[in-house]
Structure 1
Amino acid sequence: MARLFSKLKAIDFFKKIPSDLTEATLTGAWLSVLAAVIMVFLFAAELMSFLSTTTSTQLVVDRSPQNELLKLNFNISFPALSCEFATVDVSDSLGTRRMNLTKTVRKMPIDIEMMRVGSAVEDTSHKPGPKYDEEGRFDDDQDIDITTPLSHVNFEATLARYPIVIINFYAPWCHWCQRLEPTWEAATKEVHDKYPEWDGRIRFAKVDCTQEMDLCRDHFIQGFPSIRVFRKGHDDIMIGETHQHESYLGDRTKESLVAFADSLVPSAGQPHRKHAALAAAPKTSGCNLAGFVMVKKVPGTLSFVARSEGHSFDHAWMNMTHLVHSFHVGTRPSPRKYQQLRRLHPAGLTADWADKLRDQFFLSEHAQSTHEHYLQVVLTTIEPRRSRHAGSYDAYEYTAHSHTYQSDAIPSARITYDLSPIQILVQETARPWYQFLTTSCAIIGGVFTVAGILDALLYQSMKVVKKMNLGKQG
């Protein structure tokens, strides 16, 4: 066993020199102190580097799951678009087209100053259009034309004279108005025969909006024909301090109109009695549309436009001026994820990093103006070191280019979006432990070796100098 240990000593890398054969010098002491300080400093720096993380940024093809949907969030105010007809449509390059979205969209009436007025407007999608009488049904009654259109001169006097006045706001060029005209005259004659002037409880009337533009605009008429119910005195529906008149949205056949009139007559003179078949008529000029839509991750368009089955619109009357309060893509980050994103984002975060359209106002300076905003959307995925999969976050950013143009189509506000196929992947990584050990050993060994070389050079130099001095003295 002793011989084995004796042979094992032969492979000792660290052979010892007897202490009586070594010599300590003051220069070596100073170098040892300096080397120790350098070792401690470099080791501490390496330890901090090991405990910290580094980020790597890569451009990769979008790794989103197949058929994943994208969330578009918006809050936009239109001071001259009534909630009665304001709709949100979505279309994309795959041919998908969804009209009048309502489940995830809230409509809030606003005034011309874009201040909210009243409560949110309830809306239902895919409302069936009103029914009309067959064309030509009243061709034999060509002599029926008993209703002379009201004007701004006698409008208020007519409303004050009768407890209930049902008014048809129309435009002669409107296709639906032309369909309604013979039916309206026939229904007017029957109702006035049934409830003559001496009865005085109800009257039918009409207003030509091409002749009485200001009168129609004062009552926020944007689609034709619009049938409104006006109540006199106590029959007004009071909401707050305003008189709330009502809009008829039922079928436009003679039988339906006469039946509707019959159902209204008993309420004449009864205060605050609201008819179940009537919807509140708009008393403000504008609408705030807020909510979100889920879309496929392909190029598409989000459209805000006036739309209604059974109504026509005068394009020259439509004003699509709007204020974008916010428009962002995807889900807003939580405070913790926002801090991660702010720390790891390759270029840092600007104030409008996720919402380039925020608080921007777009004015329609000319008639029949359509506003279009073109967005190019880029996905940045942040993967922190801890909980890489559970804690990862997808941040969507976009560039926005807006312009306004005039066309013969109905004016609208359009947000066209296009998604980049390239995804920015930001990964936070930590250094492996073996790299830390390797670097630490390199620091200690390297500093010790360099210090030893310097010490040997200084020691030998000093010996040479001493020899030279002794030779001169001899």
Structure 2
Amino acid sequence: MDNIISKLRNLDAYPKINEDFYSRTLSGGVITLSSSILMLLLFISELRLYLHAVTETKLVVDTSRGETLRINFDVTFPALPCSLLSLDAMDISGEQHLDVKHDIIKKRLDSHGNAIEARPDGIGAPKIEKPLQRHGGRLEHNETYCGSCFGAESADDDCCNSCEEVREAYRKKGWALSNPDLIDQCKREGFLQRIKDEDGEGCNIYGFLEVNKVAGNFHFAPGKSFQQSNVHVHDLLAFQKDSFNISHKINRLAFGEYFPGVVNPLDSVQWKQETPSATYQYFIKVVPTVYNSVSGYTIQSNQFSVTEHVRTAEVGRLQSLPAVFFFYDLSPIKVTFTEEHVSFLHFLTNVCAIVGGVFTVSGILDSFIYHGQKVIKKKMEIGKFS
């Protein structure tokens, strides 16, 4: 038994030094205390990294098909009334959404930017005060109302019972409504008077669009849009104004849901118009993004980058449409963010590396200071006796 114990002692890789050979110094105590504090701070830092998830980023080709793209927006036009403002969306597949009204809220603002009224954008009901019938007579008691579309009827039994329906019929025909006061429905509803009443006001428009996941654009502009000779045109004659101020502030613009760490570069961006007419354009590159959280849920969203361009009216050229355009295109590369915890073995390895590294460096530093002090002390003694 003693022989086995003796052999085990010979295998000891950590030989012990007799305490008689130890020399405790003030510098050694200071270094020991400092290294202990340093090890504690590094341990706490490593523990925080271990307890919090880390994010791994991966790039893959986007192979998804048939999906839609949700565009969330909140834009303020401080000098463009809500009665003038319209929203259109179209894409390269040929699909168009003109004068979008669903899922959109318009908030009237006074000249100081304070909210006056918020309402869902939609077609208002006409004021029935003996309106003019399609056949030319006035509406009689218990008679069904059927207003004229003033030549824009697509079928013999079509009726236009409000100013908005007349404007919509004109839009489908590709006609401009030059004088709304000549239209009975618009005159009764006070179309031009409402525009005059809102003169000097602003508009905050917010909501979302669901569009095809292909390249396209959406834009905010005054007037109702229509197609004329395959050209996208806005009817501005009805408003009887020479210029429109499209100064704007983008409170929020996002393509898809929010996820941790996302940065939307157009949030809080604003632009002030300095010329009588201008077209402001944003060219956006949308990057599909998947966020996998450490708790197991997945968010399908997007990030984007943007460049800007302003086109102003020049002498000798056609006047540009006063509008704010957002042209977007999809990146073929998808970014995947995956949250995951650091393994305990990795944490333990880092802790051992911290302790060993600090202990080794502290030992070297202590040895250097101890032997340096001995050399200096010895030289001082030699100089004293000489």
- Give the TM-score band, short-chain normalised: 0.5 to 0.7
**1:33 match:** 29
| CA apart distance, 1:439 | 1.8
Distance 1:377 1:283, change over 3 A: farther
Distance 1:282 1:118, change over 3 A: farther
**1:239 match:** none
| CA apart distance, 1:43 | 0.7
CA contact (8 A) 1:378 1:397 kept: yes
Distance 1:462 1:78, change over 3 A: closer
CA contact (8 A) 2:56 2:339 kept: no
Distance 1:435 1:296, change over 3 A: farther
If the length of structure 1 is used for normalisation, what is the TM-score? Answer: 0.50
1:405 to 304, 313, 323: 313
Aligned length: 321
**2:186 match:** 247
Q: Distance in 2 between matches of 1:354 and 1:63?
A: 24
Q: Which runs of 5+ in 2 are unaligned?
A: 141-175, 228-233
| Letter of the 2:5 counterpart | F
| Letter of the 2:273 counterpart | F
Distance 1:283 1:469, change over 3 A: closer
**1:417 match:** 327
1:50 to 46, 49, 61: 46
Is structure 2 residue 261 aligned with structure 1 residue 322?
no
Distance 1:41 1:63, change over 3 A: farther
Q: Distance in 2 between matches of 1:294 and 1:110?
A: 27
Deviation string for 1:168-202 (max 9, x for gaps)? xxxxxxxxxxxxxxxx9xx66xx59xx9xxxxxxx
| Letter of the 1:306 counterpart | G
**1:362 match:** 273
3-state SS of paired residue (1:437): helix
Q: Distance in 2 between matches of 1:228 and 1:115?
A: 33
2:281 to 362, 369, 373: 373
Distance 1:15 1:119, change over 3 A: closer
- State the identity %: 12
Q: Distance in 2 between matches of 1:466 and 1:409?
A: 93
Deviation string for 1:308-328 (max 9, x for gaps)? 679965399454323424353
1:290 to 206, 212, 220: 206
**2:223 match:** 306
| Letter of the 1:88 counterpart | L
Q: Which runs of 5+ in 1 are unaligned?
A: 126-162, 168-183, 196-221, 230-245, 249-277
Distance 1:333 1:32, change over 3 A: farther
**Greater Rg, structure 1 or structure 2?**
1
Q: Distance in 2 between matches of 1:103 and 1:32?
A: 76
Q: Distance in 2 between matches of 1:38 and 1:382?
A: 45
Q: Is 431-440 or 5-14 further displaced after alignment?
A: 431-440
Q: Distance in 1 between matches of 2:117 and 2:313?
A: 33
Distance 1:424 1:33, change over 3 A: farther
Q: Distance in 1 between matches of 2:292 and 2:363?
A: 38
If the length of structure 2 is used for normalisation, what is the TM-score? Answer: 0.59
CA contact (8 A) 1:110 1:116 kept: yes
| CA apart distance, 1:404 | 2.5
**2:101 match:** 102
Distance 1:36 1:281, change over 3 A: same
Q: Is 433-442 or 325-334 further displaced after alignment?
A: 325-334
**1:120 match:** 119
Q: Distance in 2 between matches of 1:320 and 1:435?
A: 64
Q: Distance in 2 between matches of 1:355 and 1:400?
A: 14
Distance 1:437 1:105, change over 3 A: same
CA contact (8 A) 1:88 1:99 kept: yes
**1:8 match:** 8
